[in-house]
Structure 1
Amino acid sequence: MIFFNSTIWRPAATLMGRMKFPAKIALISAAFLLPLVWLLIVYGNSKRDDLEFVAQERAGVRYGVAVFTAMDAAADWRYLARSAALGDGVSGVQDAQNRFFKELDRLKALDQELGKKFETTALVEAVTRASQSAKAASGNAQALFPAMNALTTELAKLQDRVTDGSRLALDPSIETFHLVSATMILTPDLLRDVGELRGLGRTALLNGAMAPAASSRFQGLLAVVEQERLRQADHMAKVREHAPEHARELKQHGESALSTMLATIRSTFPPSADDVQGDDKAYAAMVSGVLKAQTEQVLHNLQVLDDLLAHRQESLRTSIAIAVAVTCVGLLLAVYMLMGFYRSMLGGFKLLRKTLLNISLGDLRTSVNAWGKDEVADLMRELGHMQTALGETVRLVQDASDQVVQASAEIAQGTNDLSGRTEQAAAALEESSAALEQTTSTIQMTADSVSRASDIAQANAATAQQGGQVMSSVVDTMQRIQTSSNKIGEIIGVIDGIAFQTNILALNAAVEAARAGEQGRGFAVVAGEVRSLAQRSAEAAKEIKELIQRSTTEVGVGVDVVRKAGATMQEIVGSAEQVKALLDEVANGAREQSLGVAQIGAAVQELDRNTQANAALVEQTAAAATAQRRVAMRMASTVDEFRLQGHQSAALVEGVDVDAIIDAHRQWKVKLRQAIEERSTVDVATLSRDDCCALGKWIYGDGQRLAQRPNFVELVGRHQHFHSVAGGIGELINQKRMREAEDALAPGTVFAQATADVVSTLSAAKRLGF
């Protein structure tokens, strides 16, 4: 258990928790298939490389056959051309030459196909140049021998390059490796060396002696050929050992002919002999027969090699086919079992998802049928038990919610009535308090006004008393003025008498001056002036006297008036004293009345405050009752989303089956989820309209008679909002943003809230009407 609970599995568990079941199956399958496919690819590539390797080897065998054929043609051409050059009178030189060049053309054509792969083009060109040199040396025995040796050497190099380029030298099978060694690797050098032995031996037989250098070369070649024969025989023996089924197909006559030839050469050309004897033609014919036998043997054995390679190629193809077949059968079986597992699990998950979706939509009417004995079946059985228990709980909650809604509605109605009456009483008290406040204010203003009037009356009395005193002073002053006026009148009378006497005196002076004549003229002028002044003084005194008399008369009248005014002022002072006393009494009464009204106002205000507090408490109680009713309605609307077995629709409301409308409205979520699962397209234009569903058709049909009711208006707005939100989710589905669309349908989203709002309004209408 510690191993399975180790934290090492946490990343994998986290990854699996973020993936859906098909993705999990795909990921696990990919995890298993990845190494399997990798191994299959590696195996296939290996086998393909092996097939390409074998195909390249077979191409090398084909190329080698062409080279050996050209070497055989070159050997014939060499033998006949040298015989003709030595004067043997042989025929067919031109035919042999033509045959070689024909084989060379075939070799060139084959090089066009394989030369780039084997990198033999340069060597083919070298063979061509060597053949042209040999052709040019025809008829000259001395020049022809090295030219033909060069041609044979170039052909051997070409064959060696073909062996390397075709990778025959790297053959992985032991029997074909030894066969390649015996044919493609050793035989070209063997043929070249035997051909050179033929030329050296024939020359010696023709001359009857062999030069030391030629003898040394001859003996060295003889040893090399013997070694090559032994190696060839060893390789062929190993081929027969490891491929006994092909042993009968191999030709070995070339080996026996070579052994006979070597024995004859040793007896004919002993190492220590200077003179040699023998038939040069017979010797040449014998060696030519060995070359022919070796060529026939190698060409035949190359065919056997090609058969072995073809058999290996077929075996590789068969093994590949078997591996692919076994792999495919295993994969098909695994896929079949995996699909069975996938369908079993996915079917269970789909049933589980459907059941859970129905439960999430509140539909508890479906029965949960568990089939099978696996974990999903166990889960379905437990889910069935849970659904049964949930149904019982919902039934109890539905009954309780209906009772709570009814009770909360009655409480809310009662508290609303009490709140209204309390508000009316509070308003009446508030009006009384305001009226008392106004009365108190008026009384206070009256008291203040009376107090100010009393003060003013007192001030008026003081002022009148002061006026009486002033009038007495005025009377005294007027009397003094009258006395002074009388005295001034007397003084003015005296001045008037003096003026009269002065006038008489001036008149007398004028008379005397007139009597005096010229001597008294100046005095007469002065006397005239004095008289004039005396007259004006008399007139002025007269006017002043008249003015003083009038002033004295008016002063007397004023004195009488002032005496009367003084008496009146005394009366005013007495009246002001009386008014002040009366106003003081009124002010005292107003103050006492103001205090009483203020106490009444305070009591009314306290009663108003208490009434306002009671009104606030009643309002809070009404608000709490209303909130309780809303909560009860919300709880009722929540449980209204559940449908139980044996459920009966409620009574029609305004002729509408509200339960049926709620069921139809909840199906939108089912349709959207189905579109997400099936990845189908949604008609967004219809989904966004609020007049296409059953509820919308009723709203814009028979429901219009309720258009003025608040609950109906609220239902219309919420229904429009729901379809607007649903249309947005439909857009997400059409844009293949399935994950976002699925998240938008989850609880707590705008869609869930919009759905709940519509159901809540319908639930309230079912219980309280529109």
Structure 2
Amino acid sequence: MHKLVNALMSWSLWLPAVRLMRQVTFPIKMLIIASAVAVSLVWLLWVMVAGKLQNIDVTSQELAGVRYASAIYPAMDLAGVWRQQARNAAFGEGGEQLPQARQAFDAAFAKLQAVDAEVGASLKVNTPFAALRSAVQTAQATQPAAGTKADPEAVYQGMIGVSRTLADLLDAVTDGSGLALDPDLPSYHLISAVLLRAPDVIQTTVEIRGLVRTALKARQISPDNAARLEGYLATLARDTAQAKVSLDKVQKAAPDYGRQLTRGAVNGTDAFLKSVRLNVPVGASTLEGDASAFVALANQTLQGQFKQVEDNLKVLATILTDRQSALRQDLWLALTVTILCQLVAAYLGMGFFVAMLQGFASLRRHLITISMGDLRSTIEVDGRDEVASMLKELGNMQLALGQTVQQVHEASDVVVQSSMEISQGMTDLSARTESAAAALEQSSAALEQTNSTVAMTAESVEKAAHIAGGNANTASQGGAVMQDVADTMERIQASSQKISDIIGVIDGIAFQTNILALNAAVEAARAGEQGRGFAVVASEVRALAGRSAAAAKEIKTLITTSTDEVAKGTEIVRQASEHMHQIVGNAEQVNNLLGEVANGAKEQSLGIGQIGEAVHELDRNTQANAALVEQTAELANTLRGAAVRMAAQVDEFRLPGAQASALVEGVDVDAMIDAHRQWKVKLRDAIDAGDKVDVASLSRDDCCGLGKWIYADGQRLRERASFSTLVNNHAHFHQVAGQVGQLINDGRYVQAEDALAPNTPFTAATNDVVMVLSAAKRLGFV
């Protein structure tokens, strides 16, 4: 189904209508659609009303035909009576009632003339009525005078024209009134019986009456008349049967009307046919019937036929009158229902129009509000139709847009702040990069000097390595000498030890001598005087032993000291030998290390040379980085400008909830931006309301709040470039706004709306002012 709808909607047949509808507003769309529907409905209503009125007119015409026929049948009846009285007079059988018969016919004919004067023209029966008038005149001329015989056949032929022209007039009335084409089944069959069959039945009855009367008067009938009579009888029987069938159909189709019908003439006609058969047997050449009795029966039959037609015409008139009333009732009912339905449709259509117009107006108002950056309004949804659904989705869109704008607003502030920090950082980095480049140049020069010094050091280390090698050899020789000294000192130490041992022995001998001297002294003391000399000798020996012991002790002390010194010297020599060996090893290591240092110095010299090249490359890269940093700083400034422009676009939006004011130089910049945005709102309101705008004040840049601040307190900032830009942009904005206001005053609202659209001078001028204010909000007036 969805594919079918899409295929139907994509049909190129609708393109002209789609293009037309896209060029007009909704009220015009509704007017076009309503006009098309109204024209079709009015046309259908007119066709219906015209059809109903036509049916009513047709019925009225048929009623007129019935009225005309109701006047014809009495005239036809009285014409037969008049003709019969004239023939009676011609036959010499009386004629006393001829004047009364003519007078009665003249009265009936006068009524017929009156009816013809009223409806004859509408029934278009002027020609047959003229023929009737001529036939009446002929009959009047043919009528025999009272008491005067005349040719009955001539009288009959002269006066039968009245009945025949009346029959022709009745046919013309039936055709002219539309009775022959009646659409309803009951009335159609009744018309068939009363107006189509009855005239033939009556006329045939009259013809049979005249033919049989003549035959009975003559007591014979010619073969031609007999044949004519048979034809008349067959026709009368057929027409009578068909009339009876038609009446039966009326009874079946409309029982209520069928019960009002008169059917007596059918039986009378059957009796008349039987009488004809009795009076004129088939094949008989001579007749014996009573002409007067037959004529009386024929007249009675005709009276019954006329009476039945008269009664049934009244029923037909009732049917047609009821139909006409029903048609009028149907017409008024149809008109009433149609008008009521149209009123209801108009009421509902007006409700639809107002609902859609209000919905579209609300949708347009909210869209304009959103397009002007005001996201603070609450979108209320009333109803569940498509417009309400669109308003609901618009509310969701406004909420999502508000969140997005809030995020963009925060992000733009972050981007502006970050770009400022990046710009400042890039400026500092540029300065530091330049310092680093200068330091690298100095480092490069120092590395060149270091490279030269390292090269000289490498040469010196190489020479020192040679000297260290010689020192190592000398140290090795000194080590060998020190080893010999150590060996000698060890031998001296051993000799000193032996001397010490000998001194010990001497000391022991002295000690023993002292002991012996002491013992001798003791023994001398015991000997007394005999031992005095021995005591003296012992004393001397003791003294000598003491001196020997003291000398030995001193020698021992010296020897011990010498031994200790020799031991120390030996130890020192040993240590010196070890140190000399270490010196020799160290000298070799120093020699090796100096060789390695020499090699390292060479490699260092090469490395420093490479470092110098790297430093040169680093210096070049640093110079390039410095240039790149400058470019980055410029890009950061560009980014800051773009961020400020983006923030300026975001600043035109007003979000729900209280927002902090941005004070710059003591001025609420957000309030200025909002007040400046209100100009677009005021111009939009003027367009919607069709109000006039004070173009003179609008064109001046010192009448609004921002202009008053610019030319008052703002003059303290006049030396700043951004303030000068603001003054120029603000003046240009009011110049453009004045042009838009002039369009509004001139009534060119469409051009004014287009002038407020995006990508127009008005929008550009507005953005220029907001751009300066937004930049001042974040960067200040610079």
Instruction: Provide the rounded CA distance (Å) in 2 between the counterparts of 1:336 and 1:398.
Output: 49
Quote the residue 2:735 is aligned against.
720
Per the alignment, do residues 313 and 751 of structure 1 end up closer, same or farther by CA in structure 2, a change over 3 Å counting?
Answer: farther
Is this contact kept in 1: 2:676–2:706, CA < 8 A?
A: no
User: Does residue 142 of structure 2 align to residue 137 of structure 1?
Assistant: yes
Contact 1:744-1:750 within 8 A present in 2 as well:
yes
Task: Tell me the equivalent position of 1:176.
Answer: 187
Question: Is this contact kept in 1: 2:680–2:756, CA < 8 A?
Answer: yes
User: In the TM superposition, what whole-angstrom CA distance separates every residue of 1:93-122 from its partner, at most 9, and x where no partner exists?
Assistant: 344434434444444454455445543211
Deviation of 1:718 after TM superposition, in Å, equals 1.8
Structure 1 residues 702 and 662: alpha-carbon distance in aligned structure 2, compared to 1, 3 A threshold: closer
Contact 1:664–1:694 (8 Å) recurs in 2: no
Which residue among 264, 271, 274 is the counterpart of 1:260? 271
State how far apart, in whole Å, the 2-side matches of 1:101 and 1:656 are.
117
Give runs of aligned pairs for residues 410-559 of structure 1, distance below 5 A: none
* Long gaps (5+) in structure 2: 145-149, 428-626, 719-723
Q: Do structure 1's residue 290 and structure 2's residue 298 form an aligned pair?
A: no
From 318, 338, 341, the counterpart of 1:307: 318
Any conservation in 1 of the 2:698–2:738 contact (CA below 8 Å)? no
Kindly indicate whether residue 71 of structure 2 is the aligned counterpart of residue 66 of structure 1. yes
What residue in structure 2 maps to residue 439 of structure 1?
Answer: none
Give how far 1:161 is off.
Answer: 2.0
> C-alpha distance in 1, partners of 2:677/2:337?
53
> Which TM-score applies when normalising by structure 1?
0.62
Counterpart position of 1:3: 3
Match among 720, 726, 735 for residue 711 of structure 1? 726
| Aligned residue in 2 for 1:162 | 173
3-state secondary structure, aligned to 1:301: helix
Opposite residue 728 of structure 1, the aligned amino acid is L
Change (3 A) 1:626 1:202: same
Query: Does residue 83 of structure 2 align to residue 78 of structure 1?
Result: yes
Offset from partner CA, 1:207-229 (integer Å, 9 cap, x none): 44444444443443233223322
Over the matched positions of the two proteins, sequence identity in percent amounts to: 40
8 Å contact 2:217–2:291 — kept in the other structure? yes
Partner Cα separation in structure 1 for residue 37 and residue 351 of structure 2: 17
Map 1:552-701; keep pairs closer than 5 Å.
630-648=641-659, 650=661, 659-660=670-671, 662-670=673-681, 673=684, 680-683=689-692, 686=693, 688-691=695-698, 696-698=703-705
Taking a change above 3 Å as real, the CA distance of residues 381 and 2 of structure 1, as seen in their structure-2 partners, is closer
User: Aligned letter for 1:133?
Assistant: T
Q: Provide the rounded CA distance (Å) in 2 between the counterparts of 1:67 and 1:138.
A: 21
| Distance of aligned partners of 1:178 and 1:672 in 2 relative to their CA distance in 1, 3 Å threshold | farther
Q: Is the 8 A contact 2:193 2:246 kept in 1?
A: yes
| CA distances 1:256-276 after superposition (whole Å, capped 9, x unpaired) | 222222222322233444444
Matched, 1:123 2:149: no
CA contact (8 A) 2:123 2:176 kept: yes
The question of whether the paired residues in 2 share the 8 Å contact of 1:661 and 1:695 is answered with no
Q: Secondary structure at the match of 2:63?
A: helix
Aligned length: 569
Give the whole-Å Cα distance in 2 for the aligned partners of 1:360 and 1:48: 59
Residue identity in the other structure for 1:727:
Q
Question: Is 1:222 aligned with 2:233?
Answer: yes
Q: Displacement, 1:86?
A: 3.2
State TM-score, norm by structure 2. 0.61
8 A contact 1:209–1:276 mirrored in 2: yes
CA offsets per residue over residues 289-319 of structure 1, 9 Å max, x none? 3222212211210111122223333444445
Over 3 Å counting, the alpha-carbon distance change for 1:378 and 1:172 in structure 2 is closer
Cα pair distance change 1:698/1:664, threshold 3 Å: closer
Shift of 1:724: 0.5
Say whether the 8 Å CA contact 2:61–2:123 is kept in structure 1. Answer: no
Does structure 1 conserve the Cα–Cα contact (< 8 Å) formed by 2:65 and 2:177? yes
Which residue identity is paired with 2:322? H
2:209 to 164, 176, 198: 198
Q: 1:687 to 1:226 in 2, by over 3 A?
A: same
Post-superposition shift, 1:158? Answer: 1.6
| Structure 2 Cα separation of the partners of residues 382 and 215 of structure 1 | 101
Provide the secondary structure at the position in 1 that maps to 2:259: helix
Distance 1:53 1:718 in 2: 77
In terms of mean alpha carbon deviation, does 8-17 or 84-93 score higher? 8-17
Closer, same or farther: CA 402–308 of 1 in aligned 2, 3 Å: same
Q: Structure 1 residues 715 and 667 mapped into 2: Cα distance closer, same or farther (>3 Å)?
A: closer
**Equivalent pair of 2:729/2:765 in contact (CA under 8 Å):** no
Cα-to-partner distance string for 1:624-647 (whole Å, 9 max, x where unaligned):
787656544433331221112233
1:28-107 to structure 2, matched below 5 A, reads 47-107=52-112
CA distance in 2, matches of 1:71, 1:380: 83
Q: What CA distance in whole angstroms lies between the structure 1 residues aligned with 2:701 and 2:196? A: 94
* Superposition CA RMSD, Å: 4.7
Are the counterparts in 2 of residues 691 and 700 from structure 1 also a CA contact under 8 Å?
no
